[in-house]
Structure formats: C-alpha cells, structure tokens
C-alpha cells in the first residue's frame, strides 16, 4: 500500500524518501537517538509502526601498545565506548582480526603494514569511530659488537652498533639477558654482557621485533680466564732483559704481560705458552700476570736477582 505515500516518519521526524514500488520505499534516516517508530502515510492513512534504533558511534580513547612490528601479528588492546556489535577494526585501511571483550574493550591482532603511522578505528552499526594513531616500527639490526670477546663471568661493557636501536627493550647474548643497557643513539647502545660460554649471537629487541645475525660481527665469544702454571726460569738478573717462558692455559689471546707491574714485550707461542722479556728492577720477588679478553690471570712469582758486586 505504498503507492502515493506522502510522508515517512522516524518518530515525529520526516525523512526524505523514494517510493520504489507499492511494496517498497527507500528512506534516508534523519538524525535521532534511542528507538523510534517508523511509519508511512498515504491518502489511505498512516501505517502500523516498526521500531528503528539509533546507535551511538563508537569512540576509541586509547590503544596499547601504540607501536609494534611492521610484520604485524602482535595483540593490541583498544579501549573506548560503544564497541558492542562491532563489525570491523581497521588499521588504516587494513582490516584486523578482533574480539569484542566488552562494550568498552576490543583486542585486535595488528596486520602487517608499511612502516608508517596509521589510524586505528572501530566500525559498528552506529558508524566509524575516531582514529588513534598506531606506529609501525621496523626491526632493529645489529652490525657489530665491540669488543667481540669477553670473560665467561660477563660483566664487561660491550658497544653494539646497528640501526633502529633507540627503542631497545632487551639485549641478549645467546639466551643470556644483558644488563645495564644504555641507549647512546639510534645506531649505538652499550650493555653489560651476561655470563656465558662459547660463541653466541648478540640480538637486540625493540617494539619492531628482534634483530637477526647479519653483516659485520654480531657474534660474541666467551673466553676462559687465563691461567699461569709455571715460569722458566723463575729468576733472573735485576738488570732485566732475559727471556722468561710462561706456561699455562688459555694464553693464546694474551693482550699484555706484566712483570712487577711493568708491561713487557712478549710473544704468544701457543695457547699454553708465552715468552716474555723481564724488565729491570730492584732485587726481590715480583708478580707475573697475563691479560686476555677473558680477564687477568693468577699471579706467578719471579725473582729479580742482584748481580755480582751489587
């Protein structure tokens, strides 16, 4: 009975309409709130009413976290109002898988996207919400570590260079977590190496993900503490200049030898043997130590002996 319709009302408000046929009308809903009765009036009278409900547009007040990897896949919690009946969640123009937790909370899985900020919006029967920015972060890279060796006990400072390091949340040497992380710039951080063994990859974690070993030297080698077992000879002239063979373990990476606190020339023959030149000094016992990336060795005693007539 729609032929000749003269008005369509949403409650008491007239709507623009088009009579498609005697059995169908299309109308543009006017603004309104709550539930209202929709009626059609023709010369034959006013129809029965059917209820139409106005739904408020959703509002997004916050998202957490506000950033994540460009590969997506992380969970983002969206907080706001009017989420009941949500039909889609968009990160920019890309749809995300989501779950409506309540009228005020949605959890969504961030889709992959270019490295750029996008607006997160929620769509319901009431319309599309305002947008809150979400930032995609590229994964960090590690190009080099310095030094690339250190003691098994850890605790030494290592400088890590790469890209995307400003937002660093964790540094790992293999599976060991580093401490004392200091962000110097987007390309450099320092960290205290944890204890460990062998050669391990150094990785950095940011909201953009975790780095992978790549170019340069993103590996770190744990070095055992050097040990001195014997000296030969165990004494020499106080005037110095004689060769002293230092035997022990883990001496191949020796960087310095001290005799009586004096840095002396040396040659690493093997991992178990060094030859050093004794310095001059006052007669008496002096300590001999070797230093490697693994630390400082135990101390061995060497005797400086006065020459004839002294």
Question: Could you write out the DSSP letters of every residue in the chain?
Answer: --TT--EEEETTEE-EEEEEETTEEEEEPPS--SEEEEEEEETTEE---EEEE--PPPEEEEEESSEEETT---EEEEEEE--TT--EEEETTEEEEEEEEETTEEEEEPPP--SSEEEEEEEETTEE---EEEEEEPPPEEEEEESSEEETT---EEEEEEES-TT--EEEETTEEPEEEEEEETTEEEEEPPS--SEEEEEEEETTEE--EEEEE-EEEEEPPPEEEEEESSEEETT---EEEEEEES-TT--EEEETTEEE-EEEEETTEEEEEPPP-SSEEEEEEEEETTEEPPPEEEEEE--TT-
| Below-70 pLDDT ranges, the chain | 214-217, 308-310
pLDDT of residue 114: 78
Shared domain for 111 and 92, answered yes or no, is yes
- Does 265 reside within a domain? yes
pLDDT of residue 230: 97
- Does 120 reside within a domain? yes
Shared domain for 271 and 284, answered yes or no, is yes
- Does 1 reside within a domain? no
Mean pLDDT across the chain = 94
Q: State pTM to two decimals.
A: 0.73
pLDDT of residue 217: 62
Read off the CATH number of the domain in which 102 is found: 2.60.40.10
pLDDT of residue 216: 59
Containing structural domain, residue 128: 59-137
Structural domains of the chain, count: 4
pLDDT of residue 213: 76
> Which of 137, 172, 194 is the last residue in one of the domains?
137
- Does 255 reside within a domain? yes
């Amino acid at each position: 009975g729609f032929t000749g319709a003269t008005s369509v009302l949403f409650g008491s408000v007239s709507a623009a309409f088009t009579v498609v046929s005697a059995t169908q009308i299309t109308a543009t809903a006017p603004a309104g709130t709550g539930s209202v009765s929709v009626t059609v009036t023709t010369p034959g009278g006013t129809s029965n009413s059917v209820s139409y409900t106005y739904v408020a547009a959703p509002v997004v007040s916050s998202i957490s976290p506000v950033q994540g990897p460009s590969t997506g896949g992380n969970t983002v919690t969206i907080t706001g109002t009017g989420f009941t009946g949500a039909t889609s969640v968009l990160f920019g123009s890309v749809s995300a898988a989501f779950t409506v937790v309540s009228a005020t909370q949605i959890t969504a899985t961030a889709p992959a996207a270019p490295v750029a900020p996008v607006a997160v919006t929620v769509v319901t029967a009431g319309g599309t919400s305002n947008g809150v920015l979400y930032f995609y972060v590229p994964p960090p890279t590690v190009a080099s570590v310095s030094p690339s060796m250190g003691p098994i006990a850890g605790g030494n400072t290592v400088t890590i260079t790469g890209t995307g390091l400003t937002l660093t949340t964790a540094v790992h040497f293999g599976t060991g977590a580093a401490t004392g992380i200091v962000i110097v710039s987007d390309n450099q951080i320092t960290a205290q190496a944890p204890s460990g063994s062998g050669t391990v990859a150094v990785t950095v974690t940011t909201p953009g993900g975790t780095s992978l070993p790549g170019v340069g030297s993103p590996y770190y080698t744990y070095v055992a503490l050097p040990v001195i077992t014997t000296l030969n000879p165990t004494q020499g002239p106080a005037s110095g200049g004689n060769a002293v063979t230092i035997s022990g373990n883990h001496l191949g990476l020796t960087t310095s030898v001290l005799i009586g606190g004096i840095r002396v020339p040396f040659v690493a023959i093997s991992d178990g043997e060094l030859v050093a030149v004794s310095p001059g000094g006052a007669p008496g016992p002096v300590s001999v130590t070797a230093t490697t990336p693994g630390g400082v060795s135990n101390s061995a005693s060497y005797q400086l002996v006065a020459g004839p007539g002294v």
